[in-house]
Each structure stands twice: as C-alpha cells, then as structure tokens.
Chains A and B, each alone.
Chain A
Amino acid sequence: MSAAVDTAPANIAATADTRDGRAPWALTAPALMLFVGVLVIPLAMTVMLSFHDWGQYKGIEPVFILKNWREIATDPYYAEMFWRTFRIALLTTLITAMFGAPEAYILNRMSGRWKSFFLLVILGPLLISVVARTLGWALLFGGNNGLVNKLLMSLGLIGSPLPFMFTETGMVIALAHVMMPFMVLSVWTALQRLDPQIENAALSLGAGSFTIIRRIVLPQIMPGVLSGAIIVFSLSASAFATPAIIGGRRLKVAATLAYDEFLNTLDWPLGAAVAVLLLVALVLIVVGSNALIERRYAEVFR
C-alpha cells in the first residue's frame, strides 16, 4: 500500500514532464505549419527549379542539370548585373546613413509637438505605395525637361541636363528616398537609449559640440546605424519596383532580371537560379556583417 502511495506522485510528475515536453511544439505548430507552407516549401521548389532544364520549344523539363548555374557563373552579363545590384544597394545604404543619422539626431532634439509632426513627415511616405513614390521621382527626373534638371540648370549648378532616368544615379536617388524611413527609425531607436544627460556630461568636461557628436553620440548610435544599414542594404538589393520604373529594361538589376526571365523569356529555371543566388548572397552578407557588428559592440552593449 505504501508503494502505491509512493508511486502516485511520481506518475503525476512523469505525465507533467511529457506534457511539458510536447506543449511548446503543439503551441507553435500552427505558426510552424504556416512558415513551412508559405516559405520553406516554395523556397525549396524554387531551388529545385533552378536545376531544371528549359528550351524555347520544349518548355521546362524536370531534370537535374547545372546548365543555369553554369550560365550565370560564366556569362559576364550576369556578373555585371549582380555587381550593379550590390553597388546600387551599397551607395543607397551609404546615402541613407549619411542623411538618415543626422535627420534622426535633429528629430530627437526637437521638442514635443514638432517632434511628432516631423516623425509623421518622415514615416508618412511608408503609407504610400513604393510604385507611387517612384513614379513621382520618374516625373521629377522625366528626361531633359524634368523638374530636377530645370532646377539645377536655373541654379547654374549644371550646364546641360543630367540623365537621371535609366541610370544608376537616378536609381540610387529614388531608392535612398524610399529607404530613408527605415534608417531614420533604426537610428532613432538607438538615440532613445541614450542617457539624456550624457551630452551635458561631455559638455561639462570641456567637449565642444562637434567632439560630443563624434566621440560620444556617434559611437553609441553606431549599432543603430549599422542595423539600419543592414535593413536598407537587403531591401535595396532585392528591391523591384524602383529599379523597374527608373531603370526599366535598359538598366536591369538582379530582381528585375529574375522577373524578366520568369515573365518575358519564360525561362523559369534561369530566373529561379538568379533569385536563389540573390537570396544566398544577401543572407551571407547580412549574417556576416551582423556577426561582425555583434563582435565589435558586444562588450559595450550587452
């Protein structure tokens, strides 16, 4: 009898253990299934697709060949396309960082009502479709008679109209505008964590305003700038609407190239290979730079 009494609590403990073990899986199952269903499976299918064959008259053939990958690796056309993609993304990132970080800093120093007003101004564009915003830039650039060119010429800054449409310059400008809110938000978050007295502390120790920004504020918001940079870089490198409108057919980037292979050439396997390569390259760049940032700032910001 005493044995029965002794084992009873043990049984309860055992069932509690097994229930505890399964519960997290059961609870995350719906989200996991959604994740697998809408992300993992299509992604795996795209990867598979990139190894299939394709011909003008035979269509897609479900075989395993490296034709598409060999083509991308050997044809300099694709190398140029990817270099351009990452060059544009990098320039966009640099510009958003150069303008976004000061913008967030100034915003943070504004008082009450102005702060919320300008935060709305900065975030407002996010409420408008990227297509609409980029078309706005296309109107401003619009060939030789575009507003931007007219303004620059009337100011005497340039003698003849600059080409903006179908150029990397135009694409970088439009992308930088589209991506700016992400950088400002990211830096703004980092600024929120700054001790409000820290600038006064530096001031009382004899630092000038430039020194305060360079030696005190900037190092502390750097993680914010860098995480903003990762967001902007990956969004710019995979951006489709802006390059499609500003660059059109003439100036393609990886995303528009994949689109064209899918929908114009109908060479789905080659398009899939381009898309997969873009994804892998981005993941490597983002994970790599994130690891670097974490190691650099681990000691200070843990």
Chain B
Amino acid sequence: MSFLELDRVAKQFGPQTVVDDFSLTVGKGEFVSFLGPSGCGKTTTLQMIAGFLDPSRGAIRLEGRDLTAMQPAKRGLGVVFQSYALFPHMTAAENVAFGLEMRRVPRAECRERVRAALEMVGLAGYEERYPRRMSGGQQQRVALARALVIRPSVLLLDEPLSNLDAKLREDMQIELRQIQRNLGTTTILVTHDQNEAMSLSDRIVVMNQGCIEQIGTPQETYERPASAFVSQFLGKTNDLAATIDLSATPRRLAAGSWSVPAPAGIAGPVTVSIRPERIGFGDAGIAAKIVTRIFQGNHWLFQCESECGPVIVIRQNDGQPQPAEGEAVRLAWRPEDMSLRGAGGVA
C-alpha cells in the first residue's frame, strides 16, 4: 500500500540534529503536508526526498526501491521551489520543456506536452514570455507546469505559495488542489501556513524542532491535537489550568467556578484546551469580563479576562446581539469540545 516510505530518517549538520526519527508512509495519490514553524526540519526532509541532501540515518523508499542510493536526477520527482527557481534565460515554454529534453522526448510530443501543461495551469498563450516579464503568480504556474510535465511519481512543493499575496494564494490553493486531484499525483507540501495545510492536504504532519508532533487528517490534528504544540500551532486555542476535585464523588474536573464530572483515568493538575469558537456565553460557567471586542466581518473576536486567566472567544456574526466591552459574562462549553492534557501528556 505504501507508495513513498520514510523510515526513521534523520539528518545531522555537525552536532546539530535537524531532523530526527522521521517515519511516514504516503499512499499513492495522497496529498500530505509537512507543517511547522521555520527551522522545524520540514524543508530539510523534503530536500532529502528530492535528493539534494543525503539523510544521516534511515531509508527513503519509493514503491519499495531505495531512493537514497539514486542520483537526484534519476529520481523522477517534480519539485516546485519557494523562489520558483525558473531559468531566467529561457521562455516559459523552454522552462517547461527542459525536463522533457533531458528525457529525450521526441520534439513533436514534447511540444504537445508543454502546450498541455501550460494550458493546465492557465498559461496558454504565454509560451514565449520570459520569467522576468511575468507576475509572481504566473511564474509560480510555470514552475508548477515544469514540475508536472515530466509526470513525476511524487510532486514536492516547498512553500510554493508563500511569495504570493493573500487573495492569489487562496485562488492558487484551490487550483493546486484541483490539478492534484485530476492528475492523482502523490504530493508533499511543505508549509508554515496552517490554513494552507488544512485546506489542501489529506493528511498533515505537524513538525517541531526536527520531530514529528502528530500525523493525522486536518480535522484530527485540529480537533484532537496530540500535544500543546500542535494545539497552539494549529489555530487559536485557550489553555486553562484545571484541577481534579478528589473530595467529590464522582470526582469532578474544575476550572474556577466551572466543573464537570471528571473522565476516568486522570488525576492531578491538568490543562484544559478549548478552541475559541467552541466557547459560548451562558448563564453558568467560568466568570469573565470582556476586555475588547473586535468585529471581523463574519465573526466577532472577544478577548476576555476570566477567573482562570485570559480567554479568547470567537462567535459567529449570526445577527444576534453580542455582549459589549466591559460586560460581565459566563463562559461555558460542551465537555466533548475540550481536550485534556495531564502532566503525563495526552489523557
């Protein structure tokens, strides 16, 4: 089943371990994102797959064959770089044709495939343009066409959208996803943008300091973060200190004046992690005062000072009246919307 397999891959630069114990299997046609802050080793991992770097330990296999023993030029992977790395002295068509020329594809077929690739990325008619005379978005499309025209077994994208402005990035995300679905190319995307990772990927690999924090679908990583790092990195979250009240029977989990029956198998001080959009204003719950209220179009953002520390709340702008700044409120949430982390990690 596994198409691309990374088996306990590690990379060291001198004494510094940049990637450690990285194991992942990617299925054919899957879209996987490596997500993490800069310096977490995601690009290093991608470069090891591409062959620009050799892993210090571990193996990388593609359809069972060992990739690390293969020259990067022979791996047949498509790579799109953050800087696009287009050849500035070649036209768009020449850029796209380069990989085919290296494969000695007959001229007529080559011309046809270049035309089809440029058309696929919406650049029909731009064949004779030089990269310098194209916008960032167009250059990016040329880079994508150049990587895809060789029909790569795996497409590697290294922060391909980070140089584009917000609107264009959103359009490109949708387009990228469509192209990837149509072609069924196994794709690995490196990004530090959690929205990008979530909207594009089948699975997300959240990385921090060279280690995998969590592998899961976008929904899993968002709803059930495996660590404090994941919950902080993927979207906004509130971490509240809570205690288990051992004197009550059954035992109760309490944060300030809010409490629920404690789940089994957990003791001692815990952290309650709760997404801002899952908190509601009610009659019961922890007491808080609204410090600032920010209108953001489709939703309201409230910064509250609660008895358990600062809490942010996001409410849909559904036309209902919202509490004003300075108003005293009570914050509540459904027990299934929170995740608990004890001192020993995941509960």
Contact = CB atoms under 8 A, between A and B. Distances in A.
Given A204-B72, A207-B102, 13 more contacts: A197-B82, A197-B85, A200-B52, A200-B79, A200-B85, A201-B81, A201-B85, A204-B79, A205-B99, A206-B73, A207-B98, A300-B89, A302-B132
Interface in B27-77: 47, 50-52, 72-77
A216 B50 contact: no
A202 interface: yes
Contacts of B146: 201, 205
A75 interface: no
Contacts of A197: 81-83, 85
Contact of B150 (A206, A300, A301): A206
Contacts of A202: 87, 98
Interface of B: 47, 50-52, 72-79, 81-83, 85-89, 98-99, 102-103, 130, 132, 146-147, 150
Contact of A203 (B73, B86, B150): B73
Contact of A211 (B50, B76, B85, B102): B102
A189 B74 CA distance: 32
Interface string A189-213: 0000001011011111111100100
A167 interface: no
19 contacts: A195-B83, A195-B85, A197-B82, A197-B85, A198-B87, A200-B52, A200-B81, A201-B79, A204-B73, A204-B77, A204-B147, A205-B150, A206-B103, A206-B150, A208-B73, A215-B98, A216-B87, A219-B89, A299-B130
B88 A220 contact: yes
Query: Which 4 A-B residue pairs are closest in the complex by CB-CB distance?
Result: A205-B99, A206-B102, A201-B85, A197-B85
A126 B52 CA distance: 37
A219 B98 CA distance: 14
Given A197-B81, A197-B83, A211-B102, A204 B89 contact: no
Contacts of A302: 132
Nearest to B98: A205
Nearest to B96: A205
A292 B233 CA distance: 55
A301 B75 CA distance: 32
Contacts of B72: 200, 203-204
A11 B190 CA distance: 63
Contact of A206 (B74, B87, B130): B74
A61 B102 CA distance: 71
A290 to B, nearest CB: 19
Given A198-B87, A300-B89, A206 B99 contact: yes
Nearest to A193: B88
A219 B90 CA distance: 10
Given A195-B83, A205-B98, A301 B88 contact: yes
B127 to A, nearest CB: 14
A15 B99 CA distance: 63
A300 B88 contact: yes
A180 B87 CA distance: 28
A194 to B, nearest CB: 9
Interface in A261-302: 299-302
Contacts of B130: 299-300
Contact of A198 (B52, B77, B85, B147): B85
A220 B88 CA distance: 8
Nearest to A300: B89
B89 A220 contact: yes
Nearest to A220: B89
A211 B147 CA distance: 18
Nearest to A205: B99
A126 to B, nearest CB: 31
Contacts of B86: 201
